[in-house]
Amino acid sequence: MGDIRLTRVEQGHTKIKNVPIAVTPEGFWCCPTPVGFQKSLKHQHPLNKLKPSSPPPKSSSQKKAVSLSERKSVPVPSRLVVSDAQQCNDPEEGPLTSTSVPTQRAPRPKLESMPKKVAIEFGEPGTCDMKLLLLGKQGFCVKLSVHKDVLTENSSFFSDKLSEESGLSCLQVDDCEDVEIYVEIVGLMYCKEVKQRLMKQSVSRILRILKVAEFLGFSSCIQSCLEYLEAVPWNGEEEEEKVISTVLRLQGEGIGVNPVLKRVSPDISNAPRDTLSHIVELVLKSNEERGRREMKSIVLKLLKENNSLPGNSGSADLCNGMINKSCRTCMDSLLCLFNQAAEPGFGDISSDNKEPVVKLIALEADNLSWLLEILVDKQAAEEFAIMWANQQELAALHGKLPIVFRYHISCISGRLYVGIGRGEVLPSKSTRQLLLQTWLQPLINDYNWLQHGCRSFDRKLVEEGIGRTILTLPLEDQQSILLSWVGSFLKTGDGCPNLQRAFEVWWRRTFIRPYVEGQNNPMSDS
């Protein structure tokens, strides 16, 4: 075992503290742990320096202890002020020069103005041929006794510096942002298995090591860090973003980082589109109710997150095309099932034989509702509205089926009316007219059942959506639809959608507003 020598750089501040460290066969310390390094800093805390204590005992290896009054009287600067040559000298080689010492006792400094300079020395000078000074911010200094051949062999940065001056015995690195990591990386240069030394360290610390290793040109350490990042799990999205941003920066400098990037980026350019298509197909074909419902919720949530990201319009168009294709498939399947259920002999068969058809109708209707929800969220449901408005054959078969078979279809129409009423779907006037012409009466026919037999049905929301959709049409079309509604409402009451608010708006537009405008327009009397 060896010792760490902790020294102050100013005269009169020498303090020797022995801390056990591991030493390599070459005589150099080997990667002190971060905990040990922080303990060294803790022992050097400024508050500890100002506490009265008895002077250390004299010994042959220590200089004469300075009295407490002298130590308090020397102001310690926030940065090192001695020359490079003085910094590279050992305390045994002679006293270090420093700024002049005042004869009078200086006032005790305030806590906020306490000095933060710490000087730590690693290594055994007798076995090394070079000193390395690492100067951090706020006056932090670490002196390392090192071997030139180790530095030049492992670091292109040190190799370039030492090749400029072959006889250099002391090298200084200024403004080190992370001195602790610099110290650890110099220690890693003495290790044969760098990757083993990185085991059990956090991802954030590995990223710090990677940054300094890149600056020093320590290629084997860079490779070991990348191998570590490729193998270790990343905790949370924030850590993942830090890893990817660091790796992409290295990629720009020509460093091979593909193994790490493969975790978040596929090799095939169209893989995301094909994968999404496959996922949607699996969900649509699933017959397990609970699993299908949960996966629909998960996929819908993730697609909403994708929609919030900018700059993906091209991929969004491809996704919309794939979803619309699935919609057509579901509508074709519904039409076949309706034709099968509308056959004259279908009502006479046993309920066990009817049940599979009923379940398939409910499944396809649920699939269409899910796909419509995706398109609405992506602001791309106009084509769906066109396809649904043109399903006249399906709407004609709707009245021939028992209500328990068909009511799921009316939920799709209701969701479209709600989307138009909210401004989430913006089909053309002709499409809106056709939607109401084709699907409003089937919805009215199913309305009583929807209120009492469909838990997900929101009566007020659908009624507001229908009314708002009607009010987007020309006044003559509003009149035609609302007068037809009045007849149904007077017959069935609560069994019919309550479009009273839309009726009142239409009434005011028709009978009140023209009269008010006529009174305010003097030209109308001429």
Classify burial at 414, counting beta carbons within 10 Å of its beta carbon; exposed 0-12, middle 13-18, buried 19 or more.
Answer: buried
Contact 13, 55 (CB under 8 A): no
Strands of the sheet with 5-6, listed across from one edge: 5-6, 118-122, 140-146, 130-136, 170-176
Distance CA 145, CA 151 (A): 11
- Which residue reads 């000193």 in tokens? 131
431 phi and psi angles, rounded to 5 deg: -70, -40
CA dihedral 289→292→298→299, nearest 10 degrees, is -150
With DSSP H G I counted as helix, E B as strand and the rest as coil, what are the percentages for the chain, rounded to 5? 65, 5, 30
What are 348's two structure tokens?
A: 């006479």
Which distant-in-sequence residues (6+ apart) come within 8 Å of 512 by Cβ?
none
493 is written with which tokens? 């009451």
Q: What is the largest CA-CA distance in the chain?
A: 122
Rounded Cα gap, residues 464 and 444, in angstroms: 14
The one-letter amino acid at 460: K
Local confidence pLDDT in tens for the 526 residues of the chain:
334 343 333 333 333 333 333 344 443 444 454 555 555 555 544 444 444 444 444 444 343 333 333 333 333 222 322 333 344 544 444 333 332 333 344 454 443 343 445 556 666 667 788 888 888 876 778 888 888 889 999 999 999 988 887 777 888 888 888 888 998 999 999 888 888 888 888 999 999 999 999 999 999 999 999 999 988 888 888 999 999 988 888 876 667 778 888 888 766 555 566 788 889 899 998 888 889 899 999 998 888 887 765 555 555 666 888 899 999 999 999 999 999 999 888 877 888 888 899 999 999 999 999 999 999 998 999 999 999 999 999 999 999 999 989 999 999 999 999 999 999 999 999 999 999 999 999 999 999 999 887 888 899 999 999 999 999 999 999 999 999 999 999 998 888 999 999 999 999 999 887 655 555 555 444 3
Quote the pLDDT of residue 119: 56
Tell me the per-residue pLDDT of 388-445, one tens digit each, with 9 for 90 and over.
999 999 999 999 999 989 999 999 999 999 999 999 999 999 999 999 999 999 999 9
Residue entry with tokens 């979803």: 323
Find the helix or strand (DSSP H, E) in which 172 lies.
strand 170-176
Reduced to 3 states (helix: H, G, I; strand: E, B; else coil), residue 28 is coil
- What is the token pair recorded at 496? 């019919």
Residue 337 CB-density burial (10 A; 0-12 exposed, 13-18 middle, 19+ buried): buried
Q: Are strands 118-122 and 5-6 parallel, antiparallel or unpaired?
A: antiparallel
Torsion over CA: 388, 393, 395, 398 (sign): negative
Question: Residue 2's beta-bridge partner residues?
Answer: 21
Q: What is the DSSP letter of 235?
A: -
Could you tell me which of 119, 133, 212, 207 has the C-alpha nearest to residue 174? 133
Nearest to 109 by CA among 146, 134, 83, 72: 72
Strand 130-136 versus strand 20-21 pairing type: unpaired
In angstroms, rounded to a whole number, what is the distance separating the alpha carbons of residues 227 and 442?
63
C-beta of residue 157 within 8 angstroms of C-beta of residue 139: no
Element containing residue 2 per DSSP (H, E): strand 2-3
On the CB side of 359, CA atoms within 13 Å amount to 11
Q: Which residues fall within 8 angstroms of residue 438, CB to CB, at 6 or more apart?
A: 389, 390, 391, 392, 395
Decide the pairing of beta strands 140-146 and 130-136: antiparallel
173 touches 134 (CB < 8 A): yes
pLDDT digits (tens, 9 = 90+) for 298-316: 998 888 887 765 555 555 6
What is the rounded CA–CA span in Å between residue 130 and residue 321? 68
Q: What is each CA distance from 204 to 234, 246, 277, 298, in whole angstroms?
A: 10, 11, 36, 30
pLDDT of residue 251: 79
- With contact defined as beta carbons under 8 Å apart, do 240 and 260 qualify? no
175: left (phi over 0), alpha (psi -120 to 50) or beta: left
> What pLDDT does residue 194 have?
87
Strand-pairing partners, residue 134, are: 142, 173
Q: How far is CA 50 from the centre of its chain?
A: 47
